[in-house]
Amino acid sequence: MTITVKALQKTGPDQPFQVADLERRDVGPRDVLIDIKAAGICHSDIHTIRNEWGEAHFPLTVGHEIAGVVEAVGAEVSGFAVGDRVGVGCLVNSCGECDACAQGEEQECSGGKGKKVGTYNSVDVDGSVTQGGYAQKVVVDDRFVLRVPDALDFAQAAPLLCAGITTYSPIARWNVGEGTKVAVLGLGGLGHMGVQIAAAKGADVTVLSRTLAKEETALKLGASRVRATTEDGFFRTHRGEFDFILNTISADIPVDDCLGLLRPRGVMAVVGLPPEQQPVGFNALINGSKVIAGSNIGGIRETQEMLDFCAEHGLGSWVETIGIDDVDAAYDRVVAGDVLFRFVIDTATFEDAPVG
């Protein structure tokens, strides 16, 4: 048996979104059926469904920032009950047996039976292509369901399942906290969460942007100051100023110059993914014994830790809520940088929408 729900789909990269019937699998013994209340729009959704990264499987429903309410649970599920507030992020399965999975780092699953499976556009264990959260409901293995604390509004919580954990994980890994001088490079969907989280951990946060246009907003988010990287002599003036740089920019940057902003043994954690390769001079790393590190979302355990941390400290994504008819236009606005800071789809707008 299957469950039929309404979902936003594209049949090709240049086609508009349309409402379609989507078949979800029936609830198995270890499954949770979630009535989706909010679905965040991530730039990865745009890259994928516009086939900018290649290998998009159409027709396709994207969305890996999902928040909602449990509608049903399988017979073997003990951790969740009908009515619970829950969320789903970028993963819906992993092998559960490799070293990474055993350590709670499912995002680094090395494969095997039941390999790592993304929330959308990924081949599931049954050979089907996963379909994401721009829909009324989703069925997910209970191992990949998160609890959304009562303090978090669904619309604010949904983007945390990607943007929140993407920035929280490297901040936690590199022990950012009291006494740490942090620079957040870029103030977009990722950067605005990085500022909030680092500041809540007690760090002194500086936002680095091309201009001072977002200075007022950055200060409201918890930054102590904003610096414009286009100022004359910027990289010389601020050389050796920071312990930690969170690079959220998905575009070319002068990597060696940015590394020069770090103190000896400083770390630049990269979470933005530019389309082009970035050149790195080894001398910029060796001189000062500096580190450049990548970070890929986080495991389920750490994602829950992030949600609880955000609830405890009153943090959430800054969002603009839209209906299902607004998504095509929202994509163009995301690409143009015209949103503070995330769009979230109110899935209640599916209710009266005709299919087709």
Task: Transcribe 270-319 into DSSP letters.
Answer: E----SS-----HHHHHTTT-EEEE-----HHHHHHHHHHHHHHT----E
CA distance 97 to 352: 44
Domain annotation covers residue 106? yes
On whether the CB atoms of residues 204 and 185 are closer than 8 A, the answer is no
What was the pLDDT predicted at 158?
A: 98
Task: Assess whether 21 and 55 both reside in one domain.
Answer: yes
What was the pLDDT predicted at 113?
A: 56
User: What average pLDDT does this structure show over 44-53?
Assistant: 93
Task: Assess whether 177 and 201 both reside in one domain.
Answer: yes
User: What average pLDDT does this structure show over 45-51?
Assistant: 94
Q: Does the pLDDT of residue 219 top 90, yes or no?
A: yes
Task: Assess whether 193 and 158 both reside in one domain.
Answer: no
CATH number, domain with residue 89: 3.90.180.10
Q: Which of 120, 132, 148, 98 is nearest to 304 (CA)?
A: 148
Residue 82, domain extent: 2-162+317-350
% of the chain exceeding 70 in pLDDT:
99
Q: Does the pLDDT of residue 326 top 60, yes or no?
A: yes
Domain annotation covers residue 118? yes
- Three-class secondary structure of residue 266 per DSSP: strand
Structure token pair of residue 240:
């050796």
Task: Assess whether 138 and 177 both reside in one domain.
Answer: no
Instruction: State pLDDT tens for residues 2-39.
Output: 899 999 999 999 999 999 999 999 999 999 999 999 99
Domain annotation covers residue 20? yes
The model carries a pTM of 0.95
Q: Which of 257, 255, 256, 219 is nearest to 238 (CA)?
A: 257
Residue 264: pLDDT band by 50, 70, 90 thresholds?
A: very high
**Beta strand pairing call for 242-247 and 66-73:** unpaired
CA distance 347 to 276: 35
Residue 54: pLDDT band by 50, 70, 90 thresholds?
A: confident
Q: State residue 128 phi and psi, 5-degree precision.
A: -80, 160
On whether the CB atoms of residues 64 and 163 are closer than 8 A, the answer is no
Instruction: State pLDDT tens for residues 106-155.
Output: 999 987 655 889 999 999 888 899 999 999 999 999 999 999 999 999 99
The per-residue b/e assignment along 119-152, b for 16 or more CB within 10 angstroms, e otherwise, is: bbbbebeeeebbbbbbbbbbbbbbbbbbebeebb
User: What average pLDDT does this structure show over 291-303?
Assistant: 96
CA distance 146 to 178: 28
Contacts of 335 (CB under 8 A, 6+ apart): 46
Task: Assess whether 27 and 101 both reside in one domain.
Answer: yes
Residue 276: pLDDT band by 50, 70, 90 thresholds?
A: confident
Given its phi and psi angles, is residue 224 left (phi above 0), alpha (psi -120 to 50 degrees) or beta?
Answer: alpha
How many domains is the chain partitioned into structurally? 2
On whether the CB atoms of residues 165 and 91 are closer than 8 A, the answer is no
Task: Assess whether 175 and 261 both reside in one domain.
Answer: yes
The average confidence (pLDDT) of the chain is 95
Q: Does the pLDDT of residue 298 top 70, yes or no?
A: yes
Instruction: State pLDDT tens for residues 192-216.
Output: 999 999 999 999 999 999 999 999 9
Domain annotation covers residue 302? no
Domain annotation covers residue 111? yes
% of the chain exceeding 90 in pLDDT:
90
